[in-house]
Chains A and B, each alone.
Chain A
């Protein structure tokens, strides 16, 4: 078991014309499960492959445990990797696939290897598949074999490159839990690459968000969700994505008001709720982006249900998810989403009213850096903070 450290690691392809990874520094603690998440092409796989030794960094140092591994071959790094397409050896049966690494990298006797292969197979419940060729297995079974091949070697670290993206949604959820369980049980330091933010949120001890080859933020899932470092992270983590609108800070009647730039449909009085904004580093005239999570939007059929400021809008589409409904509507030429309780299902075209608590607000400056993030201890607080007068159609009742 070991910690892994990346120190100002960069990787450029084609003589520097493509910078896949740019000055990345990361530390993964011993036994930690770190999820590396980001959109397609942001350099996640390249990062993982550099740790594995399949690509040479063009700059920086990588160490596993206390050893600098830059100049070590993959086989000398004592890591195991699970590939997106599993990369099972087609000419070997499951038993041989799982035992391949042990045969190459240890002096274990055939009997010992056999025993360890069987142990791992029973851990993964693939004992009855041992004599089959990969081709005759289902995707989920192949996935388990690939996992088995990684586990059996008892390596310093596991590297996963989108291992679940070829599975159907249900199996993916199931394997997600299983991988987490096994990782916890074995306590092996793991780096897990995915472009699926939900996978990142549910699996990671910490998640590292990348964009364009650059690390955006690293932190625990809740921290990244509640306090994203910038607008990119805010938009990437969370589904449906955060609602945003571009606004300008103006002074009106002695109050600081955020006013939508593209239309006058949206204004938000920062001072109205009584929370002080003394430490809010925005000044009158600043262009900012306002963000609100869909679950923090409070929607009501009646305007009277709100005590304070609220806005009126028209429902575009209602998307029932069973557990709750997603409601789409326009704000300042952007489409916003609200997550509401399943009982609230207005016809599209109906007029509705929305607001959100001051504490749910995110504000990003012109560079996209977060200047304020939501300040709710837990999402449920949103409902209590907002005007407690009940009525039908209350969010997330």
Chain B
């Protein structure tokens, strides 16, 4: 005991409880605003700004009712968000799988440079490309369409999707496909029946990442959409009006944006972790 204490240079209790204390601080740091948002969405306006904040109060579901039943309901925004997120996921996963497979298997000259170029497109901040893309979109009549937003989101997800899928395919021994081809499979069948089923976790992880990006995106949605295609983050921003901010509904909308992702996250947590690490760790 004393020996190991000396070697780490920290007293025993610090070493034992330190990590938990640190994680606790991080958890509070992250969760407190969300908790605040959640309880605020249940408070009437007056008590929302009391200081110190009240923990025990009469909860109201008024904002949630307003959000779905009142003027300017959130439902169309929610539907748009779902369409765009799913579209982005499908497109990112399909193209990412094909691109990742190619990058993993093909014997291309300058493959490393190609791979770096693909990921480097992700390095530019979104705001840099939004304006040129806006002109391009208006020319192509993609403004204010679901497809336009899906393409924009996919463009930004794809580099990561390709890299992720590539690392998954790298883990699938080529001999498996060769064995399949000798067994009577075409190249396509070998891909479809042998390699693809083995990278399911990777496709899942890629889909999650795409959905999260698309669901949370604000800037593309703000610039490329108008009434018919706006997504949830825009709905929240519209509650900041000239006559004042509808804090209650902002909070409630925040909760509605957050809830599906949290639920989703809890459900797929295991797959996500195993998916992301499987690519990195050799069996």
Please report A residues at the B interface, Cβ cutoff 8 Å.
52-54, 73-75, 77, 79-81, 83, 85, 87, 89-91, 100-101, 104-105, 149, 153
Q: Report how far A83 CA is from B181 CA in the complex, Å.
A: 13
Q: Report how far A53 CA is from B190 CA in the complex, Å.
A: 15
Binds A, one of B27-35, B171-179, B239-247, B258-266: B171-179
Q: Known: A85-B173, A91-B197, A91-B198. Contact between A105 and B179, CB under 8 A?
A: no
**B176 contact set on A, CB distance < 8 A:** 87, 89-90
Q: Report how far A235 CA is from B172 CA in the complex, Å.
A: 39
Q: What are the interface flags for B171-206 relative to A under an 8 Å C-beta threshold, 1 for contact and 0 otherwise?
A: 001011011111111100100011001100000000
Interface residues of B in 243-275 (CB under 8 A from A): none
**B175 contact set on A, CB distance < 8 A:** 83, 85, 87
**A105 contact set on B, CB distance < 8 A:** 183-184
**A87 contact set on B, CB distance < 8 A:** 173, 175-176, 178-179
* Contact pick for B182, options A75, A85, A89, A90, CB 8 Å: A75
Task: List 25 A-B pairs, Cβ < 8 Å.
Answer: A53-B182, A54-B178, A74-B182, A75-B181, A75-B182, A75-B185, A75-B186, A77-B182, A80-B182, A81-B178, A81-B179, A83-B175, A83-B178, A87-B175, A87-B179, A89-B176, A89-B194, A91-B198, A100-B183, A101-B183, A104-B180, A105-B183, A105-B184, A149-B179, A153-B184
Please report B residues at the A interface, Cβ cutoff 8 Å.
173, 175-176, 178-186, 189, 193-194, 197-198
- CB of B199, distance to nearest CB on chain A (Å): 10
Query: Is there an interface contact between A74 and B181, defined as CB atoms closer than 8 Å?
Result: yes
Q: Report how far A91 CA is from B189 CA in the complex, Å.
A: 15
**A54 contact set on B, CB distance < 8 A:** 178, 181-182
Instruction: Label chain B's interface by main secondary structure.
Output: helix
**B193 contact set on A, CB distance < 8 A:** 100
Q: Which of B178, B182, B194 has the most CB of A within 10 A?
A: B182
Q: Report how far A83 CA is from B173 CA in the complex, Å.
A: 12
Query: Is there an interface contact between A104 and B185, defined as CB atoms closer than 8 Å?
Result: yes
Query: Is there an interface contact between B182 and A81, defined as CB atoms closer than 8 Å?
Result: yes
Q: Report how far A101 CA is from B178 CA in the complex, Å.
A: 12
Query: Is there an interface contact between B180 and A100, defined as CB atoms closer than 8 Å?
Result: yes
Q: Report how far A101 CA is from B184 CA in the complex, Å.
A: 6
CB-CB nearest 4 A-B residue pairs: A105-B184, A101-B183, A104-B184, A87-B179
Query: Is there an interface contact between B183 and A104, defined as CB atoms closer than 8 Å?
Result: yes
**B194 contact set on A, CB distance < 8 A:** 89
Q: Report how far A73 CA is from B197 CA in the complex, Å.
A: 23
**B185 contact set on A, CB distance < 8 A:** 75, 104
**A80 contact set on B, CB distance < 8 A:** 182-183
- Smallest Cβ-Cβ distance to B172: which chain A residue: A90
Query: Is there an interface contact between A73 and B181, defined as CB atoms closer than 8 Å?
Result: yes
Query: Is there an interface contact between A149 and B181, defined as CB atoms closer than 8 Å?
Result: no
Q: Report how far A105 CA is from B190 CA in the complex, Å.
A: 13
- CB of B14, distance to nearest CB on chain A (Å): 42
- CB of B179, distance to nearest CB on chain A (Å): 4
Q: Report how far A80 CA is from B184 CA in the complex, Å.
A: 10
Query: Is there an interface contact between A75 and B184, defined as CB atoms closer than 8 Å?
Result: yes
**A53 contact set on B, CB distance < 8 A:** 181-182
**B179 contact set on A, CB distance < 8 A:** 81, 83, 87, 89, 149
- CB of B187, distance to nearest CB on chain A (Å): 8
- Smallest Cβ-Cβ distance to B200: which chain A residue: A91
- Smallest Cβ-Cβ distance to A106: which chain B residue: B184
- CB of B194, distance to nearest CB on chain A (Å): 6
Given contacts A75-B181, A81-B179, 11 further A-B contacts (CB under 8 A): A53-B181, A53-B182, A54-B181, A80-B182, A87-B176, A87-B178, A89-B176, A90-B198, A104-B183, A104-B184, A153-B183
Q: Report how far A92 CA is from B180 CA in the complex, Å.
A: 12
**A90 contact set on B, CB distance < 8 A:** 176, 198
Q: Report how far A79 CA is from B175 CA in the complex, Å.
A: 15
- Smallest Cβ-Cβ distance to A102: which chain B residue: B184
- Smallest Cβ-Cβ distance to A80: which chain B residue: B182
Q: Report how far A54 CA is from B175 CA in the complex, Å.
A: 10
- CB of B172, distance to nearest CB on chain A (Å): 9
Q: Report how far A91 CA is from B180 CA in the complex, Å.
A: 13
Q: Report how far A73 CA is from B181 CA in the complex, Å.
A: 8
**B182 contact set on A, CB distance < 8 A:** 52-54, 74-75, 77, 79-81
Q: Which of B178, B179, B180, B186 has the most CB of A within 10 A?
A: B179
Q: Report how far A75 CA is from B184 CA in the complex, Å.
A: 4
**A149 contact set on B, CB distance < 8 A:** 179, 183
**A91 contact set on B, CB distance < 8 A:** 197-198
